[in-house]
Amino acid sequence: NTLEGDLRDAIARCQLEVHYQPFMDATTGTRRGFEALVRWRHPARGLIPPDQFIALAEETGLIVPLGEFVLRRACADAANWPSDLMVAVNLSPIQFKEADLFDVICAALRDSGLSPQRLEIEITESVLLERGAENHAFMERLKHIGIELALDDFGTGYSSLSYLTAFPFDKIKIDKSFIRNLTHQPRSSAIISSIVTLARGLDMSVTAEGVETAEEFERLKALDVNFVQGYLFGRPLPIDQIELDESTER
């Protein structure tokens, strides 16, 4: 059997799992929420990471039911968390082409009871390359009901600065490739510092992704990054393995 056939079955047979990785307020070190990251629990191949099936799901259109599954699961899970914790869900550019995406998101919120203010949608800039006007209008609708919008993987694509002013993002997530070089390359500090200044001017916050060491964390705090995410604070884990009783007070 093909991986495509297997993936189709996986969606039908609920072999997909949503794991959660925490992100923290950089200043206080308190946890602010979790990013939902899909995994495929394959009966023969074990746990398959998303970089091995998201592209296939996008090519075959399976990303649409897969994405809806993740969104619904994430909203339902987060509805049971302490109410100061957010959940961030990645949306594929392919999902943006579906005319009913707004209704799908509203239904996931309604059915779970999750407040829209606790949902963050992460999109990559590839969404913005096509159908700019429609996507802009769509993003405004999401913001209007209180959903937060994050620009994911910032710095890895074309990263036209015009996207930042043209689209209503609340947050920029700096790709982990910049954090990796932070403590050896002064140039990486300069780039992050510029992104932070730019974001401030546009009234957006900044998340640094892929933070693995205490040294990186210290440097990022000094650079005034708002949020941090990475193995230093926690790996993505299944819902039953995340600690929710951990203090989340400010």
- Nearer Cβ to Mn ion (171/219): 171
Q: Closest separation between CB of residue 27 and Na ion, Å?
A: 21
Q: Closest separation between CB of residue 173 and Mn ion, Å?
A: 6
Q: Per CB under 6 A, does 152 bind ligand G?
A: yes
Q: Closest separation between CB of residue 38 and ligand G, Å?
A: 4
The amino acid occupying position 242 is I
Cβ-contact 66, 33 below 8 angstroms: no
Using CA atoms, how far residue 130 sits from 152, 163, 246, in Å, is 17, 12, 42
Of positions 6, 68, 120, 122, contacts Mn ion by CB under 5 A: 122
Q: Closest separation between CB of residue 247 and Na ion, Å?
A: 27
- Write the binding mask 122 to 151 for ligand G: x where contact by CB under 6 A, - elsewhere: ------------------------------
How many whole angstroms separate alpha carbon 238 and alpha carbon 212? 20
Of positions 212, 221, 224, 237, contacts ligand G by CB under 6 A: 212
Of positions 149, 152, 167, 199, contacts Na ion by CB under 5 A: 152
How many whole angstroms separate alpha carbon 168 and alpha carbon 248? 28
> If contact means CB under 5 to 8 A according to the sort of partner, which of ligand G, Na ion, Mn ion, none does residue 6 touch?
none
Of positions 60, 153, 169, 216, contacts Na ion by CB under 5 A: 153
Tell me the residue length of the chain. 250
Site for Mn ion in 48-107 (CB under 5 A): 90
Q: Using CB under 5 A, list all residues that contact Mn ion.
A: 90, 122, 152
Q: Using CB under 5 A, list all residues that contact Na ion.
A: 152-153, 173
Q: Using CB under 6 A, list all residues that contact ligand G.
A: 21, 37-38, 49-51, 54, 67, 70, 90, 92, 152-153, 176, 209-212, 230-231, 236
